[in-house]
Chain A
Amino acid sequence: MRTEPQTDDRRGFGVKLAAIAAAALAFGTPLVAGLIVLLDPLRRRNPSGRFLRVASLAAVPADGIPRSFPVVAERRDAWNRFAAEPIGGVFLRHMKDGQVTALNGICPHAGCFVGFDGTRDRFACPCHKSEFRPDGTRIDPERCPSPRDLDALAVEIRGAEIWVRFENFRAGTREKILA
């Protein structure tokens, strides 16, 4: 003879709850263990705000034409450390009055490297056709895909050398937000 299954509602609810809780705990443990590791990148940030030597003054003729220079610094990629690797590119512009300005070479729209087109006297982004003047301002802010001008970087002249505080900013935003 089979006995009728227990039909006491309150007891039934308790059993169901316990069953769900036990299963969730059992199956959830490996999932949570994995998620904790998956979320690790949220803790990591680029070191920024360092002044780095980019070039000597003599290497940038004082003619106001932006010239591209690599930024070389220590770079870490997960377990690897590279003592001196190119970590980005800047455009240096040495004006006739001796002033030096620096622009990050990355287009604020989607993160492509812009190029300076000397024949048309403007920066042009190869990806979505943003265009900037030699000082980094957008030529047509209304229609330019880039939401802001090229990102200017702080420059210090130390002796005969150009030092730049190299920073990357978030793409696609109107404001300059550190990436």
Chain B
Amino acid sequence: MRMLFDWFDDRTGIRQFVHAALYEHIPGGSRWRYVWGSTLVFTFTVQVVTGAFLWMAYSPSAQTAWESVYYIQHEMQGGWFLRGLHHYTAQAMVVLLALHMMQVVVDGAYRAPREVNFWLGLILLQLVLALSLTGYLLPWDQKGYWATQVATKLMGVVPGIGDKLQSLVVGGPNYGHHTLSRFFALHAGILPGLLIAVLVAHVALFRRHGIHARDPDPSRDSTFWPDQVLKDSVACLAVLVVILGLVARHAITGGETHARPADYLGADLGAPADASEPYPAARPEWYFLFLFQLLKYFEGDKEIYGAIVVPGVVMFAIFLMPIVGRWRLGHGFNVGLLFCLLIGVAGLTVQAMVEDRKDPRFQQAVAEAEASARRVKQLAQSPTGIPPTGAVTLLRDDPMSEGRKLFARYCAVCHSFQSDAGEGLAHAQAPSASNLHGFATRQWLSRLLDPKGVDSVDYFGATKHREGEMVSWVKENLAELDGPGRENLRKAVIALSAEAALPAQRAADAKDAKQAAEGRELIKSQLGCIDCHRFHDAGELGTAPDLTGYGSRDWLIAFVSNPGDERFYADRNDRMPAYAPHADDPHRNDLSPKQLALIVDFLRGDWYEPRPGR
């Protein structure tokens, strides 16, 4: 064995190499303040290892990036932990870089002959920031998408070549497949490659110059192995513990409880990127917030100062530190500059956070973003799963999400949608038409057929129907009902509501089938509804809306398509637009068949709900 090793050493010189690596002389002995560089090498190694494994599961394209990250986070075993490690180690690296730089500047370790190594360190800093910027986009969620948009749009303000630069980085005029493939190539290939090359040079130069010790005590001299290695390793472990704490922070604070760790541990994953969906909650990662805040101070076309000139001047000042440090007062100036910068960065960061915390619209935007992230994951876990067109279509086809937005855009101009408890859509102006929350439910109909409810703004709003025949009929005929009369009305409500076949009333409708049958007969006879309305085979059309299938999917689609149709309000229609009157030429309609169905399903509460426990 020894002979074999001797032979290998003779051919390679391995002993000397290992000896030089391990027994580096440390004047004054090992110290805790030397650990920062090693913790950075450690965190970078963690990123290479976790990144390589994430790579094996990641697929960079506009229809697969979010989907593959979702799969890593929520479906693959231990995926949330691997992703969490990668995410929080990236953040730890930024903090450790700041600490390393502070230690180097305060100790004056940038002075001759170490200037070049200080500059290499600055390049490493830039590379780490570039890695985190490119990594932020890769999950292709709304947060990363819109925050990165701002960063690449800012490239456009570079004089002369801005738009070309932007187009090259984005891979075309708009974000898409090639934005992801370019960012991924930078993030996983080019930037780490450069980083390794510069890091090797950085460590080699560091070894060439030896450790920079202040006032070393020669009696305590020691070597890298084992004294400093022990301190370095303990420091790396401490960093790892902090990272693990961040990965599991929601379990530690106990704020949220979910059945599965992937739902609340590790890194966040927002709703999939959608270029047509504004994202008012867009913010960069916390360590870029100071730049974000800085931009607010440069108005109009002075933006280039905030985006490029000021950061450039600051980087140049840091670059000059080794030269400035040659003068007697220079070192003091450098330390002062660094602390001013750190205080400035911290101040801007805190300011950005406080402004957001105090801004109710931002808080609401964050809550909405979280809600749609939760929703899209529910849909992805539904039996439908994620279609090949990507998860963004899950939300676009979801009545609960898209139907709600369409309602807000097309219907909420006149209609409100609010329960007594205030759930539903917030409304800016006074509604001029009915409140459609719970439309065609027993509760909604009971109040319509209540003399005290029928003329409220919730039913006929401010339309002429508020003083119409229905209101006067209810007031005249239903004001003083006796016991059996009330019972008959209750059955009629059950029958009419059953016409809608609402998902939320499925159980109640089945239970009360007999009463509904009685109610149907009452509507056709005793109650006199068919004097104006048609109901199945009784009554005529043209005087009042058809009650056959009232509130059902087909009925609502037909109604919204053309409320002025003979089947509904005919010529008594008051201001409700026809959203799809041209059945033969759908392009002329305001709402496509799909949009119409989404709005109607939203009104009926007809959407996928996960079974409890999942």
Contacts and interface: CB of A to CB of B under 8 A. Distances in A.
Given A129-B296, A146-B300, A173-B301, A78 B278 contact: no
B296 A119 contact: no
A52 to B, nearest CB: 12
A42 B167 contact: yes
Interface in A8-43: 38-39, 41-42
A115 interface: yes
Contact of A87 (B275, B298, B428, B587): B275
A70 interface: yes
B176 to A, nearest CB: 4
A145 B298 contact: yes
B303 A172 contact: yes
Interface string B574-589: 0001110000000110
Contacts of B278: 89, 105, 112-113, 115, 126
Interface in B150-180: 150, 153-154, 156-157, 163-164, 167-168, 170-174, 176-178
Contacts of B470: none
B31 interface: no
Contacts of A171: 153, 156-157
Interface in B166-200: 167-168, 170-174, 176-178
A42 B282 contact: no
A64 interface: no
Contact of A112 (B146, B167, B301, B578): B146
B168 A77 contact: no
Contacts of A44: 167, 172-173
A172 B154 contact: yes
B332 interface: no
B54 to A, nearest CB: 23
B16 interface: no
A55 B590 contact: yes
Given A59-B410, A78-B178, A41 B299 contact: no
Nearest to B280: A126
Contacts of B280: 112-113, 115, 126
B604 to A, nearest CB: 22
Chain A contact residues: helix, strand, loop or mixed: loop
Contacts of B146: 112
Interface string B98-138: 00000000000000000000000000000000000000000
A157 B62 CA distance: 36
A121 B562 CA distance: 32
B173 A145 contact: no
A147 interface: yes
A41 B301 contact: no
A110 B295 contact: yes
Interface-central residue, B171, B298, B307, by most chain A CB under 10 Å = B171
Interface string B274-285: 011011111000
A99 interface: no
B253 interface: no
B78 to A, nearest CB: 33
B470 to A, nearest CB: 25
B365 interface: yes
Nearest to B591: A59
A53 B588 CA distance: 9
Contacts of A61: 413
Nearest to B413: A61
A172 to B, nearest CB: 4
A124 B392 CA distance: 26
B172 A41 contact: yes
A53 B156 CA distance: 30
Contacts of A170: 156, 163
A174 B282 contact: no
Nearest to B174: A46
B207 interface: no
A118 B171 CA distance: 37
B68 interface: no
Contact of A128 (B177, B295, B361, B410): B295
A128 B63 CA distance: 30
B12 interface: no
A4 B150 CA distance: 64
Contacts of A78: 171-172, 176-178
Nearest to B163: A170
Contacts of A172: 153-154, 156-157, 301, 303-304, 307
Contact of A70 (B167, B174, B276): B276
B409 interface: yes
Given A61-B413, A145-B298, 9 more contacts: A41-B170, A69-B409, A77-B62, A110-B295, A113-B280, A118-B429, A147-B303, A172-B154, A179-B163
Interface of B: 62-63, 146, 149-150, 153-154, 156-157, 163-164, 167-168, 170-174, 176-178, 275-276, 278-282, 292, 295-296, 298-301, 303-304, 307, 361-362, 365, 409-410, 413, 428-429, 577-579, 587-588, 590
23 contacts: A41-B168, A41-B170, A41-B178, A46-B173, A59-B577, A68-B409, A77-B177, A78-B172, A80-B62, A85-B276, A110-B150, A110-B154, A112-B280, A118-B429, A126-B280, A126-B281, A145-B295, A147-B301, A172-B153, A172-B307, A173-B157, A174-B300, A179-B163
